[in-house]
Copies of this chain bind each other. A is one copy, B any other.
Amino acid sequence: MKLHCDTCPVRERAACAALSEDERTELARLGAHRTFARGDTVFAAGDDLDACATLTEGLLKISHVDEDGNERILSLIHPAGFVGEMFAPVAHHDVVALTSSKLCLFPRSDYEAAIDRFPALARALLRRSAEDLYDARAQIALDSKRSAGAKVANLLAALSRAASHSPCHGAEHFDLPLTRGEMASLLGLTIETVSRQITKLEQDGIVERTSTRGILVADAARLEALGG
């Protein structure tokens, strides 16, 4: 499916935003738009990586299953995020849609050529990459020192922010895009612990469960304080 950059919801934040009108038009010719449903695999670990992509709508997870079959979610990818390893022969990790998602897919060789041709694109990718690296390290910082309660609070706060259209404050009411199992896998906890921590947050009057997935943030300040 053809690309429509004019109506792209992330055209000001994605890597391609760094390009001029003409350059973007040229790049757009190489790409294709595709929709993925929840659970669909975008890239599978071990696959030949012949494509890369920008996420325009939805939410992806990057995950790794170890030898025992346990899945660990390494990162979430939000709209404007870039996926696809440009320098690995095969994919290290699985990339799977957590919600109905739309991506701009590019053949890897074409994209590589574009990087060489457009320094602005290289810079933009470098910047994205640096941000991803920063996020990953922030994860690491969270991972160890903080208690299960802080991790869950932090995740809910982050998801609230992601659900909001405003950059400054989070959404008051939103649906969790992840199952308890996925949250547990992302935070390095068990399903039961995540469940208990959410119960605790509810008992303390910080959030309310409006449905199995629905969350209402009753006290955003305290939620941020616990997580941050």
A123→B133 contact, CB < 8 A: no
Beta-carbon nearest neighbor of A117 in chain B? B119
> Secondary structure at chain A's binding surface: helix, strand, loop or mixed?
helix
Q: Which residues of B contact A161 (CB under 8 A)?
A: none
Q: How far is the CB of A24 from chain B (nearest CB, A)?
A: 18
Check A200 for interface membership: any CB of B closer than 8 A: no
CB 8 Å contact bits of A175-190 with B (1 = contact, 0 = none): 0000000000001110
Nearest opposing residue in chain B for A122, CB measure: B122
Q: Measured between alpha carbons, how far is A119 from B119 in the docked complex, in Å? A: 7
Interface size class of chain A, counting residues whose CB lies under 8 Å from the partner chain: 35 or more
With most chain B CB atoms within 10 A of its CB, the pick from A64, A87, A131, A189 is A87
Contact B126 A74 (CB under 8 A): no
- Tell me whether B137 and A93 are in contact (CB under 8 A): yes
Stretch at the interface among A33-41, A98-106, A139-147, A152-160: A139-147
Known: A86-B130, A87-B130. A137 touches B188 (CB 8 A): no
Complex contacts, A141 vs chain B, CB 8 Å: 64, 66, 72, 74
The residues of B that contact A72 with a CB separation of less than 8 Å are 140-141, 144-145
Within 76-105 of A, Cβ neighbours of B (below 8 Å) are at: 85-88, 92-93
Q: How far is the CA of A85 from the CA of B131 in the complex (A)?
A: 10
Q: Which residues of B contact A166 (CB under 8 A)?
A: none
> B129 contacts A130, CB within 8 Å?
yes
Known: A119-B122, A145-B188, A188-B144. A137 touches B85 (CB 8 A): no
Residue of B nearest to A133 (CB): B133
10 A-B Cβ contacts within 8 A?
A: A64-B137, A66-B228, A74-B140, A74-B141, A86-B130, A115-B122, A129-B129, A140-B143, A140-B188, A144-B188
- Kindly list 8 other residue pairs between chains A and B, CB separation below 8 angstroms, not including A66-B228, A87-B131: A62-B137, A72-B140, A72-B141, A115-B126, A122-B122, A122-B126, A133-B136, A143-B144
B-binding residues in A (CB < 8 A) = 62, 64, 66, 70, 72, 74-75, 85-88, 92-93, 115-116, 119, 122-123, 125-127, 129-134, 136-137, 139-141, 143-145, 187-189, 228
